[in-house]
């Protein structure tokens, strides 16, 4: 599966075993792991291989979508959709970008592509993302895209030896539809 849009520098693509080294190299950065509770540190090649196997199985079952963020044929991060709740038409969005690619808008493009896929193809009504309260980059990114901060969960995550607070941000289909063209630069 490939998700792309005209004039975007990146696209989203299903994972394969050849992506393991790129995932490991990008995820093994302490600052990436610090902002992404699902990433252990150090992040070894075996973690990447195991995750790819998991992602491929979930994709084949139609239960989750974990896609590579691809720039010039190179995987620079991941964007995924989990906890898909068909009855309530919602799902959890997650993403991370390798530190060498921070500050270039690639995460914003990835979230825009995934949101479009969620609302246009999967016919969801709501997508939400949990963001650590100290992750200023993700908070800013989601705000720029019209996600609403639904509130803070205290000590919701145990990561790297500490309990951490997080925010839940959401985007409703009506908010997405109210934008003239979500895939046009915001």
Domains of the chain plus CATH, in order, are 2-127 (3.40.630.30)
**How far, in Å, CA of 33 to CA of 39, rounded?**
5
Q: Determine the 3-state secondary structure of 86 from DSSP.
A: coil
pLDDT per position as a tens digit, 126-167: 999 999 999 999 999 999 999 999 999 999 999 999 999 999
Residue 186 has pLDDT above 70, yes or no: no
Phi, psi of 60, deg, nearest 5:
-60, -35
b/e map of 144-167 (b: 16 or more CB within 10 Å)? ebbbeeeeeeeebeebeeeebebb
**pTM given for the model:** 0.94
Picking from 59, 53, 43, 62, the residue whose alpha carbon sits closest to that of residue 17 is: 53
**How far, in Å, CA of 2 to CA of 45, rounded?**
24
pLDDT per position as a tens digit, 65-76: 999 999 999 999
Residue 176's pLDDT is 84
Phi, psi of 183, deg, nearest 5:
-90, 5
């Amino acid at each position: 599966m490939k998700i792309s849009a005209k004039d975007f520098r990146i696209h989203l693509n299903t994972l394969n075993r050849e992506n393991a080294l790129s995932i490991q190299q990008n995820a093994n950065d302490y600052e990436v792991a610090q902002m992404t509770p699902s990433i252990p540190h150090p992040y070894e090649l075996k973690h990447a291989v195991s995750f790819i196997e998991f992602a491929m199985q979930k994709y084949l079952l139609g239960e989750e979508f974990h896609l590579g963020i691809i720039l010039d044929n190179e995987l620079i991060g991941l964007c995924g959709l989990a906890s898909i709740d068909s009855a309530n038409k919602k799902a959890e969005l997650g993403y991370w970008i390798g530190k060498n690619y921070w500050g270039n808008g690639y995460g914003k493009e990835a979230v825009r592509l995934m949101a479009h896929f969620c609302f246009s193809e999967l016919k969801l009504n709501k997508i939400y993302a949990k963001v650590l309260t100290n992750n200023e980059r993700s908070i800013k990114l989601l705000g720029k895209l019209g996600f609403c901060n639904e509130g803070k969960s205290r000590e919701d995550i145990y990561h790297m030896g500490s309990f951490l607070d997080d925010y839940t941000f959401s985007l409703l289909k009506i908010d997405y539809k109210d934008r003239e063209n979500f895939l046009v630069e915001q």
